[in-house]
Structure 1
Amino acid sequence: MSQVLVTRREGAVLVLSNNNVAARNALSVEFYTAMGEALSDAANDPSVGAIVLTGEGGYFCSGGDLRQLAKRRELPVQERRVRLEGLHDLIRALRDCPKPVIAAVEGAAAGAGLSLAMACDMLVVAKDAKFSVAYVKVGLTPDGGATAFLAEFVSRQVLTELCLTGAPLSGERMHALGAVNRLVDSGSALSQAIVLATEVSEGPLQAMSRIKSLCRHAMRNSLDDQLELEAQFMVEAMGSDESLEGIHAFLSKRPPNYTQLRQVRE
């Protein structure tokens, strides 16, 4: 059996690739496990500065495997919930990963595949890629945080239409909505995602982890709550080796070298 998750390194960038090409990279329990372990290992590896998530065969992810989902009707409700939590745990792991995670989307991100992409910190997407929440077409409802992620970019009315019709959104439309960071030519999403990941991988890991947390809470926190979180993180950052290096580098008119700090921690 081939690996469900193909991994490789591009310098400080870890590339994770969904490898279920025969089923357009449909998700599986094995994939959830492999991804969870890879994210955990990356979080604890100081040589990893950023992560790129993509799919083999020019297709990001078609979502849940309908053949497997059809079998779950035979299971007790509680066991169905346990199986579903495998997906939700992965979404949380992506959200909570301290390293920047960038999705490189070619082909399509459908159903839970859309959730997987949207759970990443940034998206690099081919112009002709498609995003869809087509659960309604098979009598199911969205999962994996799809409605929460899309609600950050579209009105309730548009969200309802997308979910009730299952109509796809193009990469260009997602970019116009503000959900996509880089819109690129077909076939170049991965290479461009690696370029972006390489750029951010050179940054201060502790500060970037705090910044990720700030950005994640910003849309839901009240101003007072967000000010409190910013204050906590800023006070912590002021006493860090990263800020010492960054400020000294700025005053000395040289690029900061955060990589040396990671090597010291090893």
Structure 2
Amino acid sequence: MASLFRSTSGDGYVVLWNCNGARRNALSPEYYAGLISGLEAASADQSCAAVVLAGEGNFFCAGGDLTQLKARRVMSEPERRANIEKLHDVIRAIRGCRKPVIAAVEGGAAGAGVSLAMACDMIVAGVGARFTLAYVKAGLVPDGGATWSLSRVLPRATLAQMAMLGRPLSSERLHALGVVSDLVPDGQVLETANGLATEIARGPERAIADIKQLLNDAEQSASLEDQLTRERDAMAQALGGEEARTGISAFLNKEQPVFR
């Protein structure tokens, strides 16, 4: 049986692939394990500046495999909770990766595939892509943090229609709402995502990692004061570092900084 996960390297970045194209890249235990391992390796690899998530074929990710979900109905509730936590560990790994993670959404994302994309720092999508929370059609509810992430970027009524009625949202609408960072012609998604990763690779590694952490903290923060404290500490540390020396000097000399 062919592997359901693979990793390829670009110029300063890595692409982590869901290789379940025959099932529209439905999620699998092998993909979970490979993705978490790949994210951990990217975090530790100084030569890797960014991560791109992609799906083979013409669809990013269809979410959970209903055949597997049907089989899990006979499990006890604690066993079912443990299986859902495996998906949630993937979401945590994406958010916790020190490197920016970019979702390359060709065709569309459904169910937990939406959760995967929303956990990323940037989303590149083709103009024909559609995002669907199809759980309700199967009598299920969203997981993977979908209600948490989408409630922060969508009006409640829009999210309610998406989650309660299973209505898809186009990539064009999500781009207009600021959820999709880059909207490109179909077939150019991976190329654009790789271009963003290459651009990130030219930037200051430590500063970008700290910015990602600040963005994560801002979403979790209870107050403005908490975030002001985090930003103060991160800025004070950054200002004393080598990246700031390089960047400030280049800016003042009207030159392009070379961080790596």
Structure 1, unmatched stretches of 5+, are 260-266
Q: Distance in 2 between matches of 1:18 and 1:223?
A: 38
2:231 maps to a residue whose letter is E
Shift, 1:217, TM fit: 2.8
Correspondence list, 1:216-255, <5 A: 216-221=216-221, 222-255=223-256
1:137 aligns with 2:137: yes
Correspondence list, 1:131-210, <5 A: 131-210=131-210
Deviations 1:142-177 (A, max 9, x none): 000111111111122222221110011111011111
SS of 1:231 mapped into structure 2: helix
Shift, 1:248, TM fit: 2.2
Identical aligned residues as a percent: 50
SS of 1:58 mapped into structure 2: coil
Shift, 1:258, TM fit: 1.6
Shift, 1:249, TM fit: 2.3
SS of 2:57 mapped into structure 1: helix
1:262 maps to what in 2? none
Q: Distance in 2 between matches of 1:29 and 1:219?
A: 29
1:62 maps to what in 2? 62
Question: Is 2:17–2:54's contact at 8 Å kept on the other side of the alignment?
Answer: yes
Deviations 1:205-238 (A, max 9, x none): 1111110122223345321111011001011112
Q: Distance in 2 between matches of 1:112 and 1:241?
A: 40
Correspondence list, 1:30-69, <5 A: 30-69=30-69
Structure 2, unmatched stretches of 5+, are none
1:14 maps to what in 2? 14
Q: Distance in 2 between matches of 1:220 and 1:76?
A: 32
Structure 2 CA distance for partners of 1:126 and 1:36, relative to 1, 3 Å: same
Task: Tell me the TM-score normalised to structure 1 length.
Answer: 0.94
What is the number of residues matched between the two proteins?
259
Q: RMSD of the TM alignment (CA)?
A: 1.2
1:99 maps to a residue whose letter is K
1:214 maps to what in 2? 214
2:99 maps to what in 1? 99
